[in-house]
């Protein structure tokens, strides 16, 4: 016996855009539930299609493991009523009490239970704990109340354990579990009896339901690519569209349709987006990404001539609208659109888009930057972007080119929205990168400055994403976007621009913004370079202010990681901690102007002075830092650093402090490592 648990939650259609996250959440949630019951199992797999979420647990042992727990109770000095209450609640008496650290404890043991008897509770827990971003309730006739929350009404729950169907009443949705599922809604709508997962998966495929999401996605990709290639075309690869379409169909059927030639004068972005957004059609191109008058589409049932002619007819109507919007927009200049931005609210506390543009102008310094900023938000008022918001920036570039703007300005208009997320491309041009930086920093300064910092996991204004994009521009762009000053200078200049517009920000906005960006920088370094949080914290603490070179922080973190992994780290760490102990707080403000000018008679201190001088000259040479650390340890072992002579003592400490400063500046703050 495989001791397999098979569950299927069969419902009305699950929105395609929720499915990718749901299948991951389902597995994670059910694993946590199994652990909470002390269940022993080998593996949990989850699957999803438009009308079902499936959970398969392999080798789920028939009895949960016995649990042993030590539970702390009241203090020994607590009144007897509290102690008796603790005992009664746990079914124990005074002879079971254990005294330790001023408290009473109980050693509680729970015998394992039959897994079969817990499955109903597990299902109830799963329904209640499954995290849906959008959910609903429906009326339960049997219970005379509303159901638990779920993405769409649940119609049946399949439950088979160890090849045996279980009938369990699930009160939260008013259903009794069963041994059957359903095939394709239109092609095989009847009930299907199943015995285990392999039987379940095979019978679903026989009844036109492809359970494996990745298999379905790859099938769509392969079939469209194959049919397009047969007429000399290529599919314009679009992962989000592919994932959405895979979530719309239970069994994919692919068709190649045609586009009326009169629409082929429209820009590729307009054609492609109109087909994608409204019809879920795939764009097909000739070699060199030249758009062709054909499209690929996927249906949930085999197509017919009537259906195909309907596709073409609906597409003509959609593209007619797009062509009308495009022509109307071209009749108005971007400058004219830009003049209306004062009527568009950026944020109720931060004024209009026109005011945002003015603030961005305050930190720009080239003609290209000023022209880009003047036009970069104009397309927000075009009909095309009103219909397809995802085309903002791109339509600005297209309209700017049509109106004869400098090609560098046109490109920067499109690029200033990049990067839009953690994985998207950076701008290619320096103007695009800097205007993107201005735009995102202005948003961050304004929203944090009026107290809209995200709390917990909630971030409705996507400030963490914006901050992460800024960090990527500062760290990954091939040139330095901070050409005019430090990061804090840009922040301060924007604060002044807000103030001139009558918008008051919190007095410590610079610190708030810098700390928020540093949090994103830490995440960026840890994720991209696989560096532990302790190392990143050590590097960040080594800087004397919140305003520092982010690229230098990355280099220092990488260097420190390599150092920690080497045999030299313990020497430097020991010397650093001994030095910190000698300096203490009372010498924290001791000045170290020039160690070369200090006169030492003690040979150990003279050797230390020379070692630290070499360290100053070669700050990133770890071997020289190690020699300086060895000299510190030797001096500490052989010299009374806190000499009775005040002048000697202070000179000794200046030398020791300089070693600490060099480690902080070039390696990191090692106090907590």
Same domain for 320 and 200, yes or no, is: no
Please compute the mean of the pLDDT values over residues 431-457 and round it to a whole number. 95
Same domain for 137 and 241, yes or no, is: no
pLDDT of residue 242: 95
pLDDT of residue 65: 64
pLDDT of residue 604: 93
Same domain for 625 and 659, yes or no, is: yes
pLDDT of residue 89: 85
pLDDT of residue 221: 96
Please answer whether residues 233 and 294 qualify as being in contact, where contact means their C-beta atoms are separated by less than 8 angstroms. yes
- For residue 600, the domain's CATH number is 1.10.730
Rounded percentage of the chain residues whose pLDDT exceeds 90: 77
Neighbours of 393 (CB within 10 A): 23
366 token code pair: 């080239």
Does a structural domain hold residue 671? no
Does a structural domain hold residue 621? yes
Total structural domains within the chain: 5
pLDDT of residue 301: 94
Same domain for 326 and 339, yes or no, is: no
| DSSP string computed for 339-404 | TTGGGSEEETTTEEHHHHHHHHHTT--SHHHHHHHHHHTGGGGSHHHHH-GGGTTHHHHHHHHHTT
Q: Does the structure show a pLDDT above 80 at 244?
A: yes
For 96-118, letters b (16+ CB in 10 Å) and e give ebeeeeeebbbeeeeebeebbeb
Does a structural domain hold residue 618? yes
Same domain for 484 and 388, yes or no, is: yes
> 422 falls in which pLDDT band (50, 70, 90)?
confident
User: How far is 190 from 563, CA to CA, in rounded Å?
Assistant: 65
pLDDT of residue 66: 63
Specify which residues 282 forms β-bridges with: 296
Same domain for 543 and 577, yes or no, is: no
Same domain for 383 and 342, yes or no, is: yes
> 669 falls in which pLDDT band (50, 70, 90)?
confident
Does a structural domain hold residue 557? no
Last residue of a domain, one of 110, 141, 172: 110
Same domain for 82 and 154, yes or no, is: no
| Bigger pLDDT: 114 vs 354 | 354
Same domain for 121 and 104, yes or no, is: no
Last residue of a domain, one of 303, 330, 357: 330
- For residue 71, the domain's CATH number is 3.30.70
Same domain for 369 and 291, yes or no, is: no
Map residue 232 onto helix, strand or coil: coil
Q: Which of 507, 517, 464 is nearest to 487 (CA)?
A: 517
> Per-residue pLDDT tens for 642-651?
999 999 999 8
Does a structural domain hold residue 558? no
Q: Cα(first)–Cα(last) distance of the chain, in Å?
A: 51
pLDDT of residue 168: 97
Span of 92-106, 227-241, 352-366, 494-508 with lowest mean pLDDT: 92-106
Q: Which of 396, 508, 417, 430 is nearest to 466 (CA)?
A: 417
pLDDT of residue 105: 87
User: How far is 27 from 23, CA to CA, in rounded Å?
Assistant: 7
pLDDT of residue 263: 95
User: How far is 209 from 184, CA to CA, in rounded Å?
Assistant: 6
pLDDT of residue 505: 96
Last residue of a domain, one of 180, 206, 232: 206
Supply the range of the domain harboring residue 179: 5-63+115-206
Q: Does the structure show a pLDDT above 80 at 382?
A: yes
**Residue 70 falls in which region: left (phi positive, over 0), alpha (psi -120 to 50) or beta:** beta
Does a structural domain hold residue 632? yes
Please compute the mean of the pLDDT values over residues 486-497 and round it to a whole number. 97
pLDDT of residue 174: 96
The model's pTM: 0.82
Q: Does the structure show a pLDDT above 60 at 1?
A: no
Same domain for 519 and 599, yes or no, is: no
Same domain for 517 and 404, yes or no, is: yes
> Per-residue pLDDT tens for 35-69?
988 898 999 999 999 999 999 999 998 887 666 67
> Per-residue pLDDT tens for 160-177?
999 999 999 999 999 999
Does a structural domain hold residue 53? yes
Q: Which of 514, 518, 555 is nearest to 537 (CA)?
A: 518
Does a structural domain hold residue 559? no
> Per-residue pLDDT tens for 259-307?
999 999 999 999 999 999 989 999 999 988 889 999 999 999 999 999 9
Per-residue HEC secondary structure of 129-165 comes to HCCCCCCECCEECCCCEECCCECCCEEEEEEEECCEE
The mean pLDDT of the chain is 93
pLDDT of residue 587: 72
User: How far is 585 from 657, CA to CA, in rounded Å?
Assistant: 12
């Amino acid at each position: 016996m495989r001791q397999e648990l098979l569950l299927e939650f069969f419902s009305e259609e699950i929105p395609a855009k929720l499915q990718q996250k749901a299948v991951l959440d389902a597995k994670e949630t059910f694993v946590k539930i199994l652990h909470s019951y002390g269940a022993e199992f080998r593996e949990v797999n989850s699957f999803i299609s438009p009308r079902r979420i499936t959970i398969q647990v392999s080798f789920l042992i028939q009895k949960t493991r016995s649990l042993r727990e030590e539970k702390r109770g009241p203090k020994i000095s607590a009144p007897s009523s509290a102690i008796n209450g603790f005992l009664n609640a746990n079914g124990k008496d005074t002879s079971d009490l254990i005294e330790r650290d001023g408290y009473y404890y109980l050693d509680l043991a729970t015998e394992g239970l039959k897994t079969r008897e817990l499955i109903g509770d597990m299902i109830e827990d799963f329904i209640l704990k499954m995290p849906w971003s959008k959910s609903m309730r429906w009326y339960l006739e049997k219970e005379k109340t509303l159901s638990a929350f779920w993405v769409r009404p649940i119609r049946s729950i399949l439950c088979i354990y160890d090849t045996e169907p279980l009938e369990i009443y699930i009160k939260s949705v008013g259903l009794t579990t069963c041994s059957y599922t359903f095939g394709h809604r239109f092609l095989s709508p009847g009930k299907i009896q199943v015995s285990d997962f392999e039987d379940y998966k095979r019978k679903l495929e026989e009844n036109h339901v492809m359970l494996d999401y990745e298999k379905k996605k790859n099938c769509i990709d392969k079939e469209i690519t194959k049919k397009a290639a047969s007429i000399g075309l290529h599919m314009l690869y679009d992962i989000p569209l592919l994932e959405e379409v895979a979530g719309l169909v239970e069994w994919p059927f692919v068709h190649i349709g045609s586009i009326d030639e009169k629409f082929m004068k429209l820009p590729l972005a307009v054609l492609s987006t109109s087909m994608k957004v409204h019809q879920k059609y795939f764009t097909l191109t000739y070699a060199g990404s030249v758009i062709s008058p054909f499209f690929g589409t996927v249906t949930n049932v085999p197509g017919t001539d009537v259906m195909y002619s309907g596709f073409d007819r609906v597409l003509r109507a959609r593209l007619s609208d797009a062509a009308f919007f495009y022509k109307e927009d071209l009749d108005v200049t971007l400058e004219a659109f830009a003049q209306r931005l004062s009527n568009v609210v950026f944020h109720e506390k931060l004024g209009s888009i026109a005011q945002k543009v003015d603030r961005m102008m305050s930190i720009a310094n080239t003609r290209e930057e000023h022209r880009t900023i003047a036009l970069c938000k104009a397309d927000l008022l075009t009909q095309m972007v009103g219909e397809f918001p995802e085309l903002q920036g791109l339509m600005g570039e297209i309209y700017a080119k049509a109106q004869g703007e400098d090609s560098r300005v046109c490109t920067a208009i499109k690029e200033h929205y990049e990067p839009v997320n953690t994985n998207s491309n950076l701008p290619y041009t320096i103007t695009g990168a800097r205007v993107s930086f201005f735009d995102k920093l202005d948003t961050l300064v304004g929203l944090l400055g009026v107290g809209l910092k995200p709390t917990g996991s909630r971030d409705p204004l996507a400030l963490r994403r914006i901050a992460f994009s800024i960090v990527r521009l500062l760290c990954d762009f091939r040139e330095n976007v901070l050409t005019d000053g430090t990061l804090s200078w840009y922040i301060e200049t924007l604060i002044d621009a807000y103030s001139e517009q009558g918008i008051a920000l919190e007095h410590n906005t610079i610190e708030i913004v810098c700390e928020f960006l540093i949090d994103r920088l830490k995440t960026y370094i840890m994720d991209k370079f696989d560096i532990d949080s302790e190392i990143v914290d050590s590097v960040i603490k080594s800087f004397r202010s919140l305003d520092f070179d982010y690229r230098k922080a990355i280099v220092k973190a990488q260097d420190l990681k390599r150092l920690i992994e080497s045999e030299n780290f313990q020497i430097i760490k020991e010397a650093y901690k001994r030095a910190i102990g000698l300096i203490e707080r009372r010498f924290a403000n001791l000045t170290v102007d020039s160690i070369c000018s200090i006169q030492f008679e003690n040979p150990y201190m003279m050797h230390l002075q020379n070692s630290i001088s070499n360290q100053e000259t070669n700050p990133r040479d770890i071997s020289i830092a190690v020699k300086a650390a060895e000299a510190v340890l030797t001096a500490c072992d052989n010299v009374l650093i806190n000499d009775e002579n005040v002048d000697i003592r202070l000179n000794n400490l200046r030398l020791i402090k300089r070693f600490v400063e060099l480690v902080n500046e070039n390696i990191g703050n090692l106090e907590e490592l």
